[in-house]
Structure 1
Amino acid sequence: MVSAQEKVRENVQDDYKRNSLSIIVVDRGDNYDDTVFEAVRSINLGDKFDLNLIPTNRITISGNRANTVGGIEVGKAVNASDLGKEILSYWFDRQADGTMNAKRLEQRGNYNADDQDVLNARAAKVGPESLGDTGYALVSGSYVMILDYSGITSSKNDKQEVSWSVTTNAYVYQIDYSQDIEAQVIEAWVYEDDTPEAIAQKNEAYDKILVGMSPKATVSYTTSAKEADGGVRAAIVEGYGETLLRLENQIPAWNVTTAIAKRNPLRAKIGTKEGVKNRMRFRAYLVKGDKNGNPYTVPKGYIRATTVADNRGMATGQSTKFTEFYQISGGKIDEGMTIKQKNDLGMGVSLGYKVGGLAPYNLTVDYLASINTKGFSHYGLLNIGYDMFSGSKIGDKVGKYLDAGDLTGLTDGGISYINFGIGYGFGIRPIRHVELMPFIMGGGDYMMNHNDFLKEDAGEETEDSFSKKIAWYGNAGLRVNFNVKYPLQLFIQADYTLLIEEGSYYKAFNDLLKVGDLGHKNSFGIMAGVKWTF
């Protein structure tokens, strides 16, 4: 006979449990050790992980900080430390005399429990205090992140502004916790009423427990920050966030998994407690069974978190706090479907060909800053365009109207234009497969005379010569993106470009080219191309 608890539990598709984390910083034996350690201690680690504050928070691996220490050296340092035992002692609050308690275990077990767990406990006529029992399963989700910072260098730009570059190297290990080790811990459990002889025997048994650590993932990421913005410390803080994002992609157990609780809008009972943030991407799955009754999942589409619920606190079984989502691809997503965290960068790269405007060949990068439950999105945009006229083409088109002497410096090597612009786009989704994005952009259109590269005495580009060879422009338009097979999209775009100010060199040669209808000018443009999101 199936128990009441099992009857309720069969409706839940996810098995996500909160993980716990210890942070250890590598000391190199140089002047940066304390700066690095204090910067790491200042990082806001968020709410996704419980912190295991074990005694070891620094390990020494001497070496030139210009180089990474490497996984082999880190592995040796981990094996030389008793990190697994330190983690166990923290979980069970083991004291100097060997006494232990399960208060931390029970508290974390209750905090990890969701509303469904509470309902299951009630259906089985078991008190909510029994939820603390699940805390034992959480011990196996204990991780250690070893952070090594290498390549710390400074540089100055033309304005003498100092910037610092830092490479974050993260090595993640997981505790080797098994039922056998759990049984040994229970056997060595010291109670207040134990005799001195029993305590001595149990402490000896506890000391003999071997708890290893297994490597799980390694990530390196380089960041930089200006001295005025915090320098080394700021680069270290930023590096942690980017590193964590990449580690989540490598460690499946760190990916939040739950079930869709409601539709219109899509909602689920996760939030800040699980580290969910606006625009975080999830993939939805439909669980099916084969002819033998074995379950399998079918991907149904991608969604993004929009309004994130603050669900910090103990579950009651009657929570009304839901994180809302917007679906960005796929078929219909219903209540009960499983969603699993699938991090991305929130970026898209487009390649397009344009008729009209400043350049026919264009590369556009868009960055999703935020999205709301109605699908309205805010984007940062970067565009680079390229246009080129060969010397022979200039001679054919412009030479019909001007004397050869007027074309000196144009027909020898030709002319290239490189335009670059930054802007803002506002995404509107009438349906999930189509996005309309009105946008505005501003930037520069730089002219390169190929003949200059042929001159031995051309010299280096200066700020003055650069300003003479560039025209500043404004651009506005509408782009329409169509999902083909996510993350692949097709797009069409219509826009208008206005040249605002032209440098003297740019204007002189551009006016000559316009005689043959080759130069750049105020104009409408139509562009089409492909986009890939990642």
Structure 2
Amino acid sequence: MKYYIFLFFLILSWSSKSQISTYVRPCMSISTIEKEGNFFQVINNSIATLNFKNTLKRVNIIPIKKPIASDTIFSEYAKDITSYLFNKDSNNLFNVRKILEFSEYASSDVQSFISNNSADKDQILTQIATEMLGKVYILTIDLKKVETYKDYYDRKEAKRKARNERTRKLGGEVSESNQKPIERKLYGYLCDFGFKLRQVNWTPEMLNYFYTNCWIDENTPESERVKKIDNFSNLQLSSKVVWEELQLDVSVGKSKSKRNGRFIEPTQEQMNKILTSSLPLGIINQTNKSIVQNVPEFKIFNVLSSTYPCKSKIGTKEGIRNNDRYFAYEKIQKRDGETLLRRKGVLYVNSVVNNEKDNSLASNFLQRGGRSLYNGMMIYEELDKKINFDFNYNLSTAPLNLSSYSLSIGFGPFGKRSAAYVGLSIGASTFQDLNYVYNYGGNYDADTATRVTISPDGYSLLVGLEFARAIYLTKRGNLFLYPNFSVNAGFLSFSNKDGEDQDFEDEEYEPSPVIVDTRFGIGLGFHIVPSVSIFYKPSIGVNIAAWESNANDDDDESESEFRTISEMGEDIKRSRFNFINTISLRIHI
């Protein structure tokens, strides 16, 4: 009787579109397209037998992983999945033990919804099963080409020889680089493949038909069993393609060891390990990455169980990682009854709990921008590419400002409570009447050279590497300190010697100085919106080294000499220690 009650609730909850606000893991079966060829068969068999539980933590894996023909009717495959989910045995009897087991594991915070009343528990698990049946997928991997690195190198070598032969026939000369054989450093395999992800269309009508006309258990009269077995064998379950990638590639190459200057060929055991384990795992990883990025149902979502500290009952069981990004949403109901999600803040995972056996445990999140959050808000996983674009304006009034305007391309955040960043800056500035002293003549020896003072106009180009860390000051993470340190190289170019009329003469040396500086300071940042921030970054700049390219006036040889900054002119001396004010706008994606 319990099973009938369960199925009644299942149909009722689906037809009324009842939902609970919790993450329910999709169910997925993995299949491969049958193909001739030893490599294809070995990889297909490995995909069918390997355990991908640690790789595919976002799904309940249905262990029906058999190679299928390209013309297979997916309705038959879907029926196999249905038989598994409803635990069909050799006597054609169904039960709900398997789907209840999946349901209890599928929801991360199911324990908080289940009371000691068993009826309540059945109803909650029924709702989870309802959501889960709407998330049953068939992943079909199509291997297109598999080759060893040896074959890959042979192919490149053949192309090199053919290209050189054509060059010779046309009377050309083969370059020295093209005369060298291809270096064969790696061993392993390369694979081209594609995949399709299909969703089984379990509709309320189909579920009702299945329960009424196909379901058999110990209470089903013998007179009805033959008919129901026949109905199930003719059951047509449709599916739709929700995502596909026609062309992906993965390679697993390992460096060859060297002996006496020569590469040692790998053993057959080493090659077999890559083919049967590393390569199939690489294919699944690449496929999983594409699916998670492009299919919303595979993104993790849940409710906030508490705020400040922000917690949600997801963890290692769902495969979340430190510093994953989540957006928090508030549900807004319009007058016409439509429910909208309005984004209120951004959260990053700070501490991941192991909830494999205890669903009541919650992972910690830190808010980094947005408005105040409250219990029950939905949080949705959002891929963070960790790329930042900073547009900087330098307010320094020093005689030599290496970069008035600059663009920084950075990566971050990394780390837990405070977020680390690293970035590369490119900037430019102009100057006028710069007091500059350089050594001219006397083979540029400091004791014999002529010290020439000029007042040129020109510009500088700066390349720098910056390291920084955000330290959040408020619970919402809108306001934060930004200690930073950078090392920069400024390249000076003079457009004239003294003002507008005196250009450098051809026989004179035109100096090309390079100045290296370091900058360190503590800035203050504010999140305008979660993905856009504004900074005020005061810092102290210190010129630590300089050198100057020299061209000998007696011959064409060129040299570089290190210069003492204090001897390069009053303006550069005054700029050796300077206070820099920078305003920055950051866009984070």
Opposite residue 537 of structure 2, the aligned amino acid is Q
Are residue 438 (structure 1) and residue 483 (structure 2) matched?
A: yes
Matched, 1:179 2:211: no
Q: Any gaps of 5 or more consecutive residues in structure 2?
A: 1-12, 157-176, 257-272, 445-449, 452-457, 496-512, 551-559
Q: Select which of 387, 399, 402 maps to 1:347.
A: 387
Task: Tell me which residue corresponds to 1:205.
Answer: 231
The answer on 1:49 being equivalent to 2:94 is no
Distance 1:509 1:53, change over 3 A: same
Deviation, structure 1 residue 13 = 6.5
Alignment of 1:122-521 (within 5 A): 126=119, 128-129=121-122, 131-134=124-127, 135-147=129-141, 162=186, 170-186=195-211, 187-191=213-217, 200-218=226-244, 227-228=254-255, 244=288, 247-291=291-335, 295-313=339-357, 319=360, 321-354=361-394, 359-360=403-404, 361-371=406-416, 376-387=417-428, 397=434, 417=461, 419-421=463-465, 423=467, 425=469, 427-430=471-474, 432-441=477-486, 445=489, 476-496=520-540, 507-508=560-561, 514-515=568-569
Structure 1's 399 and 275: CA in aligned 2 closer, same or farther, altered over 3 A?
Answer: closer
Residue from 77, 94, 98 that aligns with 1:104:
98
String of CA shifts for 1:219-269, please: whole Å, max 9, x gaps. Answer: 677777773499998798578557645533533333333332223312233
Distance change in 2, residues 1:294/1:136 (3 Å): closer
Instruction: Give the letter for the 2:55 counterpart.
Output: L
TM-score (norm 2): 0.64
CA RMSD between the two structures:
5.3
Q: Secondary structure at the match of 2:208?
A: helix
SS in 2 for 1:329: strand
Residue pair 2:395, 2:581 contacting (<8 A) in 1 also: yes
Q: How many residues align?
A: 478
Deviations 1:428-448 (A, max 9, x none): 434521221223456x74969
- Offset of 1:30 from its aligned partner? 6.3
What is the CA distance between 1:52 and its match in structure 2?
A: 1.0
d(CA) in 2 for partners of 1:49 and 1:491?
41
| Distance verdict in 2 for CA 1:107–1:332, change over 3 Å | same
Deviation at 1:175, TM superposition (A): 1.0
Assess, with a 3 A threshold, how the Cα gap between structure 1 residues 237 and 490 changes in structure 2: closer, same or farther.
Answer: farther
Which shows bigger deviation, 255-264 or 151-160?
151-160
TM-score in terms of structure 1 length: 0.69
- State the partner residue of 1:71: none
Aligned to 1:530: 585
8 A contact 2:389–2:408 mirrored in 1? yes
Q: By how many angstroms is 1:486 displaced? A: 2.5
2 CA distance for matches of 1:306 and 1:242?
Answer: 26
| Residues 237 and 488 of structure 1, relative CA distance in 2, 3 Å threshold | farther
- Pick from 18, 22, 28 the counterpart of residue 29 of structure 2: 22
Paired AA for residue 492 in structure 1: Y
Structure 1 pair 87–234 and aligned structure 2 pair: CA distance change class (3 A): same
Structure 2 CA distance for aligned equivalents of residues 166 and 495 of structure 1: 51
Matched-pair identity in %: 14
Q: Distance in 2 between matches of 1:115 and 1:530?
A: 39
Q: Secondary structure at the match of 1:304?
A: strand
**Cα shift at 1:368:** 1.7
**For residues 78 and 400 of structure 1, do their structure 2 counterparts lie closer, same or farther at Cα, with a shift above 3 Å needed?**
farther
| 1:65-144 pair list within 5 angstroms | 82-95=76-89, 98-113=92-107, 119=113, 126=119, 128-129=121-122, 131-134=124-127, 135-144=129-138
Q: CA deviation at 1:527?
A: 2.7
Which AA in structure 1 matches 2:585?
V
Residue 15 of structure 1 deviates from its aligned partner by 5.3
Contact 1:263–1:335 under 8 Å retained in 2: yes
Q: Structure 1 residues 288 and 449, CA, compared in 2 at 3 Å: closer, same or farther?
A: closer
Structure 1 stretch 485-494 or stretch 17-26: which is displaced more?
A: 17-26
- Contact 1:441–1:475 (CA under 8 A) maintained in structure 2: yes
Cα separation, 1, equivalents of 2:534 and 2:423: 18
C-alpha deviation, 1:103, in angstroms = 1.9
- Unaligned runs of 5+ residues in structure 1 are 1-5, 61-75, 408-413, 452-468
Larger Rg: 2
